[in-house]
Chains A and B, each alone.
Chain A
Amino acid sequence: MTATATATERVDAAGNPLRRLVGAHEFGVLSATVLLFLFCAFGVDNFLTSDNLLSVAQQIAFIGIIGTGMTLLIIAGEIDLSVGSQYGFLSIVMAYTVTEMGLPVLPAALLVIGFGAVIGLAQGLLTTLAQVPSFVVTLAGLAILRGAALLVTGGEPIQGSESETYHDIVSGFPIGTLAAQTLWMAAVMLGFGWVLAKTKFGYDVYATGGNVKAAVNAGISANRVKVLCFCVTGALCGLAAVVLVGWLGSANPLTGSGIELSVIAAVVVGGASLTGGVGSIVGTLLGALVAGLIGNALALLGVDGNWQQVATGVLILAAVLINRVVAKRQAALR
């Protein structure tokens, strides 16, 4: 009995760590991050200082928070193009509830996060029950929510809360120059990384995106899973809005315009497949980090900021090509 047990363990033991690393979907983005980091460390002045690195971590915080929701959605086989508009609209809602409605910050924040979840619920139900592709539903959402934000504010930025505590909690510097935004991102990514990798819900997300018919045949409620992923994404847009408004003390109706591209880029560069079933939070973090490092290096080198857009585009293409090679090699390696 023990003999068979050990034999079984040997057969199904994890492979050589190096092989597993090379075979992982995140291998491409991981090597890109390492190479880029080494290049910057040696070739770019002022890059390798803790202040600079922590500022990169601060800059990617919003992409990271929203990207966590997007990762879940893309793994589940859906997409949300409206995250930038949700983020902008919810920023306005946050500022409006604390100033115009005079709500205390905490209930206002919870309201905004809940409101985000409701927006996700609506888009999720339209996608699953009305069977409109999420690409279309959220493209409409992108326009509607941006329009709403501009209508409510008349196109002008509005004042947010002046609470010092609120500002410190979302954007203070609790440890040295480590920004609170970075910690919020870390908490969100750790939390949902755990949910995605370890819990039954996470398994259902992968199954739903991988083969929706198989998931349904196995008794998984694929529609429920998808709607929940939309809700999480909306709620995280709400959280990002809460953090942003506390940090800036005001809200601009144009907040987050175009950010959906950076968010989707981070997820895809991180090894996720737009056809669903593949991806991870670690990958998304690395995807956001690569984009952040490129932007930072270009800025430090004094290159025109518009090159960053070009670099992001090239990065997406490169990442997808590398992932394709990795996917092909995986079958052979494992």
Chain B
Amino acid sequence: MSVLEALDVSKRFGGVEALRGVSLSVAAGEVVGLMGDNGAGKSTLMKVLCGAYRPDSGALRMNGEPITMRGPRDATAHGIAVVYQDLALVDQRDVATNVFLGREPRKGLVVDKARMRREARVVLDELNIRIPSVRMPVAGLSGGQRQCIAIARAVHQGGQVVLLDEPTAALGPEQQANVLKLITRLKERGTAVIVVSHNVDHVLKVCDRVVVMRAGQVQGIRDVHSTDAATVVGLILGEVAAETLAHAESHHSLAETGDPR
């Protein structure tokens, strides 16, 4: 069963049709990779999913219930968490404070620092994120560690669906591996994840399905176990013809209805 579903969503900016009837779903414990060339509509779709844009038509469903979102706060309330690249952390503050940013636990009027440190460590341990001390200011951490802390916050603050925008961009190979490991860990915990990425290898490595967008439409949906990098790149470039779309979709919906879950 899908946690978050977008059905036939369209969004137009003036004369530009950014999204033309896009449908997408993600289930608990599933990682969906969202790929496509620049201008394919990935960012617009992500912004619709996180409440930043309201779609012109189409519907969003959370656990089967239709939802409308007037802003990112509504998305958070519905359990949809977005991790923005480089827009998530306050460098000067320590790890614990960043994990709880905006939702600090309180004891009376005072922020419960001890509890914050303790719980931050529990969250980090649970997600296998290795940070020497939760007292460190995040400015001193690597890009990969910072990305992981941002993701930990999304999860800790009750995200059932976590949207990641280019989580491995601008990271070194080792740090990329850590972030990918964390995505796998989220999947194991039953979190639904949508990852926007330009990196086919990463998508094939951690995702269950890859959704390729082109010119505001879904060009194709593939199960990563039955596809390869060449096919995905072909879909992105529009070289794998769109008629396979119909096949892919019916294939997928058959798979879903036949799914005992």
> Does A15 contact B101, Cβ atoms closer than 8 Å?
no
CB contacts (< 8 Å) of B106 on chain A: these are 200
Q: Give the A-B pair count, Cβ closer than 8 A.
A: 88
B110 CB-CB contact with A under 8 Å: yes
Can you name the residue of chain B whose Cβ is closest to the Cβ of A208? B90
Tell me the smallest distance from the CB of B42 to a CB of chain A, in Å: 19
Among A13, A14, A213, contact of B87 (Cβ-Cβ < 8 Å): A213
Asked if A219 and B91 make an inter-chain contact with CB atoms under 8 angstroms apart, the answer reads no
- Which chain A positions have C-beta within 8 A of B117? 12
Could you say which of B110, B118, B135 contacts A199, with CB atoms under 8 Å apart? B110
- A166–B27 Cα distance when bound, in Å, is 70
Of A11, A204, A210, A331, chain B has the most CB atoms within 10 Å of the CB of A210
* A173 part of interface (Cβ distance < 8 Å): no
Assess whether B137 is in contact with A200, with CB atoms less than 8 Å apart.
no
Q: What per-residue 1/0 map shows which CB atoms of A232-243 lie under 8 Å from chain B?
A: 000000000000
* B139 at the A interface (CB under 8 A): yes
> What residue of chain B has the Cβ atom nearest to residue A218's Cβ?
B102
Whether A215 pairs with B101 at a CB distance below 8 angstroms is yes
Chain A residue at smallest Cβ distance from B76: A219
Q: Is A159 an interface residue (CB 8 A)?
A: no
List of A residues within 8 angstroms of B135 by Cβ: 12, 14-15, 334
Question: What mask results when residues 51 to 91 of chain A are scored 1 for a CB within 8 Å of chain B, else 0?
Answer: 00000000000000000000000000000000000000000
Question: Is the pair B103, A8 in contact by a Cβ cutoff of 8 Å?
Answer: no
Mask of B102-145 contacts with A, CB within 8 angstroms, 1/0: 11101001110000011001100100000011111101100000
**Count, chain A residues at interface, CB 8 A:** 29
**B interface, how many residues as a size bin?**
35 or more
| Alpha-carbon distance between A214 and B101 when the two chains are bound, in angstroms | 9
Q: Is the CB of A331 within 8 A of B139?
A: yes
Beta-carbon contact of B121 and A331 below 8 Å: no
Whether B73 is near chain A, meaning CB under 8 Å from some CB there, is yes
Nearest residue, chain A, Cβ from B134: A12
Taken together as a complex, chains A and B put the C-alpha atoms of A206 and B133 apart, in Å, by 20
Distance in angstroms between the alpha carbons of A193 and B254 in the assembled complex: 63
Cross-chain contact B93 with A206 (CB below 8 angstroms): yes
Contacts of A214 in B (CB 8 A): 87-90, 101
A206 adjacent to B90 (CB under 8 Å): yes
Measured CA separation A198–B107 after assembly (Å): 10
Tell me which residues across on chain B come within 8 A of A131, comparing CB atoms. Answer: none
Closest to A279 in B: B92
Question: Do A217 and B137 form a contact, CB below 8 Å, given A8-B118, A12-B117?
Answer: no
Instruction: Find residues 1-55 in chain A having any chain B CB closer than 8 Å to their own CB.
Output: 8, 11-15
Which listed residue (B84, B101, B134, B153) contacts A207, Cβ 8 A?
A: B101
Q: B103 and A219: CB pair below 8 A?
A: yes
A99 at the interface (CB under 8 A from B): no
Could you tell me if A210 and B92 are in contact, using CB atoms closer than 8 angstroms? yes
Contact (Cβ within 8 A) A217 B84:
yes
Q: Which of A179-234 contact B (CB under 8 A)?
A: 198-200, 202-204, 206-207, 210-211, 213-215, 217-220
Residue in chain A with minimal CB distance to B107: A198
Please judge, given known A-B contacts A8-B121, A199-B109, whether A211 and B90 are in contact too, CB under 8 Å: yes
Task: For the A-B complex with A218-B102, A277-B93, A331-B137 known, give 20 more contacts whose Cβ atoms are closer than 8 Å.
Answer: A12-B133, A12-B134, A12-B135, A15-B133, A198-B110, A199-B111, A200-B111, A202-B111, A206-B90, A207-B102, A210-B90, A210-B93, A211-B90, A213-B87, A214-B101, A217-B88, A218-B88, A218-B153, A219-B73, A334-B137
Between-chain CB contacts (< 8 Å), 25 pairs: A8-B118, A8-B121, A12-B135, A199-B109, A199-B111, A203-B97, A203-B104, A210-B90, A210-B93, A211-B90, A213-B84, A214-B87, A214-B88, A214-B90, A214-B101, A215-B90, A215-B102, A217-B84, A217-B88, A218-B88, A218-B153, A277-B92, A330-B140, A331-B137, A334-B136
- Whether B133 and A210, one on each chain, are in contact in the complex, defined by CB atoms closer than 8 angstroms, is no
Q: How far is the CB of A51 from chain B (nearest CB, A)?
A: 38
Query: Which of chain A's residues have a CB closer than 8 A to the CB of B73?
Result: 219
Q: A11 to B133, Cβ gap below 8 A? A: yes
Q: Is the CB of A220 within 8 A of B110?
A: no
